[in-house]
Every structure is written in structure tokens, then in C-alpha cells.
Amino acid sequence: MTKKKNIKVEVEVSAHHVHLSRKDVDKLFGKNYELTVFHPLSQPGEFAENEKVSIKTKAGILENVRILGPIRDYTQVEISKTEAFKLKLNPVIRESGDLAGTPGATLIGPKGQVALKQGVILAYRHIHASTLQAKKYNLKHGKLVKVRIPGPRALVFENVMVKVRDNYDWHMHIDTDEADAAGVDRENNIGILIG
Amino acid sequence: MTKKKNIKVEVEVSAHHVHLSRKDVDKLFGKNYELTVFHPLSQPGEFAENEKVSIKTKAGILENVRILGPIRDYTQVEISKTEAFKLKLNPVIRESGDLAGTPGATLIGPKGQVALKQGVILAYRHIHASTLQAKKYNLKHGKLVKVRIPGPRALVFENVMVKVRDNYDWHMHIDTDEADAAGVDRENNIGILIG
């Protein structure tokens, strides 16, 4: 086991996005519609789609929200807390798929709408690592670690969840609020795992 | 000198706001117009005014931005980086009054407009302390300290500037991005000075 101090991890910023179930793709884009890839994401097999939807509540609307693929067993909406404030929603921080008790919203696509009873969350900030990388540094799936972001707005994110899969690779994912608070941008995008 | 570990500080969230010079109050609200107090702020002699302006760039507009008083020698606009992104501005983190080289924007009031050549900043996160409080804990004006925010989105803000004045009192000020990234709200609003 190698000491995990000072592992450098590229930080990627996740803007608001939606994951869709097959059933909800059908409702929003038409029966058996196949989403089309806009570009691949850093984690193999995951990608940004060309298709977008709107997220609507009684208080407001967020337009042009990109769908991330592939299709999942559940529909999930990930927004920033700043956006939640405008939509007058009060989502909490959840892991993907852990949606019981989360607020809903209406999704609007070109062919129809879906009134979600639940599914809006703030994403749990996390680090991806391959099984080998994780083993080398004794990082277990689900473990919470600390990552320091240097720069004028330097800070240490605690409660960063480790996500391990064979084909994952070192990347940290945070949302736009977290990126803006930490001063993360294209020039300042390296986090340091400090514990 | 007492150890400064574990001083608890109430965290207040500064939404976007504007400080105005006398000249710019005249242009926006009319000659010799007197701004009227909406409510006092935590630091004595400072207050939120009833009056609001809009902040406009070629890319967008931010409406209903509150003015904070009293009048200053310079006009200064403080927004979040999330908002700056929408306005297509690229402000950096500055102390109040340190405005050379910062981007401008157009302010719009009920009686006129002001085209600022500079003055839009991201606020330097900071802690207010009275001269006595600062002395007790050996905190010097301008010193950078670290503050931990507990909770599900726990983090440690580094580069928190200490601001000392006789009549100040313990309060930490962060912007909306920082509050949202740290999960600061009415129930979770205590920071701990850890170094």
C-alpha cells in the first residue's frame, strides 16, 4: 500500500444534467427514441447526449439541460443549490439512485412531459478511481476522503466520496457551486488528495 | 494570547450587492437623492438599503440588486462567479476598493444609468472581528485564516481574510457560491476557526 498523500486528481465540473429511464425517454422524445451522443465523458461508457430538456417547477424553469447517457433504471435530475433556490426546490445531497424522499419537478421534452414525484438531487462530490488505483492507495468504494484545491480560493473539500470501478480513472467531479467557491476553472483544475 | 482554535463564528451569506459613490447615486436616483435603510447589517453602521439597481452587460442582466450603505468613495459591484458566468464577466477575487483592472458593467437605476469602466469583483471571503477580539486571539487585520464548516458538505475555507475594526463583531461573510458549496443555510451557519 502506497501513502495516499498528494495524489493529484483532475477536477471536472458537472453542470446541471439529467439521467433518464427508458420510459421517460419515450415520454419526452417519443416511443423507442434513441438518444444521440454529443461527446464521451471522462469515465468510459458515459457520455453527454445531444438531447436536452427543461426542468420546470411552479417557481421557475431551467432550460436546455443536457441529458447524460446511457439510459438508467431511474430518472435523476442533478442541479446546483443556486439553481434549486431559483426553482424553490430543496434537494439534499444524495448518491446517484438514492432518490427516496427527494423533491420532484416537471421535465419537458419535444414530444411530451414527465411529472417526476422525486428525483432532484444535489450530487455527492466524488472521485472516480479504477480498482487498481484504489487498491494501490487503499481507497475503498464509498469511503469519504479530503481533497484540497489550491489557488486564491483554496479550500479543502471534506466528504468526497470514492467511487471505484474496474474501468474508472482518476477524476474528481464537483458541481458548479463547488467549482465557483473553490475557484476551479480550466487553468486551476487539479485537486490534491490529502487524507 | 489565547489559542485561536475552535472559535465559533456565525456565517452570513452575502448575496450580490452594490456599493455606490455619491456621484453614482445622483446619476441613478437623482441629484442629492438619499438612500433609505431597509435593515441594518451585522456590522455596526452598515445597512441594506431599500433601493435596488440592475447590472447589465452585453450578455445579460441581473435585476433587483440591492444597494448596501453607507455611500462609499467608489462604486463597487459584488456578484457570485455563477452570476459572472451568465453576464460573461470574468471578475477576480478582490478586497473592497481594490478595483484597478476589474471588469465594468452598466448599472441601471430609476433615474439614469452609469457605465462603470471597472468595479465588478468577487468578494474576498472574510471574518470580521473587533480590535479586542482580534487581539485576544492574535488575529491581525489582513491575515489569512482557515475556517471549517461542518455538515454534509463539510469543507475548510482557506484564505479567509481577517478584517479588524473597533466596532466590528465576530461574523464570517461568504458569497452564495461559497455558501451553497459548503451547505451553509439557516440551520448550518456556524464556522470554526481552525488555524
| Cell numbers representing residue A81 in the block | 443549490
pLDDT value, residue B195: 87
Cβ-based contacts of B81 with chain A (< 8 Å): 180, 183
* Grid-cell match 473587533, residue found: B130
With beta carbons less than 8 A apart as the criterion, state whether B68 and B41 touch. Answer: yes
Contacts of B10 by beta carbon, 8 Å cutoff, 6+ apart:
B42, B170, B171, B172, B189, B190, B191
Taking only the tens of pLDDT, chain A with its 195 residues reads: 455 568 999 999 999 999 999 999 999 999 999 999 999 999 899 999 999 999 999 999 999 999 999 999 999 999 999 999 999 999 999 999 999 999 999 999 999 999 999 999 999 999 999 999 999 989 999 999 999 999 999 999 999 999 999 999 999 999 999 999 999 998 999 999 998
User: Which domains are delineated in chain A?
Assistant: 3-12+125-193 (2.40.40.20), 16-123 (no CATH)
For B48-64, the pLDDT digits (tens) are: 999 999 999 999 999 99
CA distances from B186 to A64, A94, B10 (A): 31, 20, 10
pLDDT value, residue A17: 98
pLDDT band per the 50, 70, 90 thresholds, residue B3: low
What is the rounded distance in angstroms from the CA atom of residue B116 to the CA atom of residue B67? Answer: 16
* Grid-cell match 470514492, residue found: A162
pLDDT value, residue B51: 98
> Testing the interface with A: which of B158, B161, B188 to mutate, by most A Cβ within 10 A?
B158
Is B154 in the A-facing interface, judged by CB distances under 8 Å? yes
For B128-157, the pLDDT digits (tens) are: 999 999 999 899 999 999 999 999 999 999
Contacts of B41 by beta carbon, 8 Å cutoff, 6+ apart:
B47, B48, B68
* Grid-cell match 473553490, residue found: A182
pLDDT value, residue A6: 81
| Cell numbers representing residue A154 in the block | 483554496
Contacts of A7 by beta carbon, 8 Å cutoff, 6+ apart:
A137, A170, A192, A193
Stretch B167-187: mean pLDDT? 95
Cβ-based contacts of A92 with chain B (< 8 Å): 152
CB atoms within 10 A of CB A1: 7
| Cell numbers representing residue B44 in the block | 455596526
CB atoms within 10 A of CB A60: 13
Nearest CA in chain B to A181: B178
- Of residues A156, A157, A181, nearest to B177 (C-beta): A181
CA distances from A189 to A8, A69, A193, B52, B67 (A): 10, 24, 13, 36, 34
Cβ-based contacts of A174 with chain B (< 8 Å): 181
Nearest CA in chain B to A81: B180
* Grid-cell match 453542470, residue found: A15
Is A177 in the B-facing interface, judged by CB distances under 8 Å? yes
> Testing the interface with A: which of B149, B153, B175, B184 to mutate, by most A Cβ within 10 A?
B153
pLDDT value, residue B125: 97
- Of residues A85, A152, A178, nearest to B181 (C-beta): A178
Instruction: Check pLDDT > 70 for residue B4.
Output: no
Predicted TM-score (pTM) of the model is 0.91
Is B153 in the A-facing interface, judged by CB distances under 8 Å? yes
Contacts of B187 by beta carbon, 8 Å cutoff, 6+ apart:
none
Subunit contact B180:A155, Cβ cutoff 8 A: no
Instruction: Check pLDDT > 90 for residue B26.
Output: yes
Contacts of B21 by beta carbon, 8 Å cutoff, 6+ apart:
B71, B72, B73, B74, B75
